[in-house]
Chains A and B, each alone.
Chain A
Amino acid sequence: MSQQPSVLVRLCNWALHSEGSTRSSALIRICLVFLLWARWANELVLFREFATPDGLAYVLLGINFYAATTLMLIGLWTRFATAWTAVVVGSMVFYFGGSLARVPWTHHHTYLLAAATALCACTPCGKSYSLDRLLAVRRAEAAGTTPPPEVGNLWGLRLMSLQLSAIYFWGAVDKTTVAFLSGERMEHYLMWFYLGSDRPAAGWVSALLLAAAVTTVLLEYTLSVGLHIRRVRPYLVVAGLALHALFYVLVPVYTFSATMACLYLAVVDADRVHALIEQMQGRGRAS
Chain B
Amino acid sequence: MQVLSQANRRRIRGVVFCLCAALMLLGPMATQVFDHHSKWLRPWQMFRDTGLQLLAVEFRVRQDGQERVIDRYQVLGYERATAPKWVRRVVKIRKLSRALCEALGPGTDLRIYAEWATLDGWQPRFAGEQNLCRHSRRKGR
Do A and B come together as binding partners? yes
B121 touching A166, Cβ below 8 Å: no
CB distance from B108 to the nearest CB of A (A): 20
A185 / chain B contacts, CB cutoff of 8 Å = 51, 117, 119, 121
A149 / chain B contacts, CB cutoff of 8 Å = none
A199 touching B56, Cβ below 8 Å: yes
B21 / chain A contacts, CB cutoff of 8 Å = 15, 159, 162
B89 touching A188, Cβ below 8 Å: no
Please name 19 pairs of A and B residues whose Cβ atoms are closer than 8 Å in the assembled complex, sorted by A.
Answer: A94-B40, A106-B39, A108-B44, A111-B42, A115-B42, A155-B13, A170-B32, A170-B44, A174-B43, A174-B44, A174-B46, A179-B118, A182-B121, A185-B117, A188-B51, A192-B89, A196-B88, A196-B90, A197-B56
Tally of contact residues, B, Cβ under 8 A: 40
B80 touching A196, Cβ below 8 Å: yes
- When each residue 89-116 of chain B gets 1 if its CB lies under 8 Å from chain A and 0 otherwise, what string results? 1100000000000000000000000000
B39 touching A98, Cβ below 8 Å: yes
A163 / chain B contacts, CB cutoff of 8 Å = 24
A179 touching B119, Cβ below 8 Å: yes
Decide yes or no: A159 and B51 within 8 Å by CB, A170-B32, A191-B56 being known contacts. Answer: no
Near A by CB (< 8 A), chain B positions 39-71 give: 39-40, 42-48, 50-52, 54-57
Near B by CB (< 8 A), chain A positions 153-178 give: 153, 155, 158-159, 162-163, 165-167, 169-171, 173-174, 177-178
Q: Is A50 an interface position by the 8 A CB rule? A: no
A251 / chain B contacts, CB cutoff of 8 Å = 47, 50
Chain B residue with Cβ nearest A99: B39
Decide yes or no: A119 and B25 within 8 Å by CB, A16-B13, A170-B44 being known contacts. Answer: no
B14 touching A189, Cβ below 8 Å: no
Near B by CB (< 8 A), chain A positions 166-219 give: 166-167, 169-171, 173-174, 177-179, 182, 184-185, 187-189, 191-192, 196-199
Q: Count A-B pairs with CB separation below 8 Å.
A: 110
Tally of contact residues, A, Cβ under 8 A: 42
Chain B residue with Cβ nearest A168: B44
Q: Is B120 an interface position by the 8 A CB rule? A: yes
A residues whose Cβ falls under 8 Å from a Cβ of B: 15-16, 94, 98, 106, 108, 111, 115, 119, 122, 153, 155, 158-159, 162-163, 165-167, 169-171, 173-174, 177-179, 182, 184-185, 187-189, 191-192, 196-199, 251, 253, 256
Q: Is B75 an interface position by the 8 A CB rule? A: no
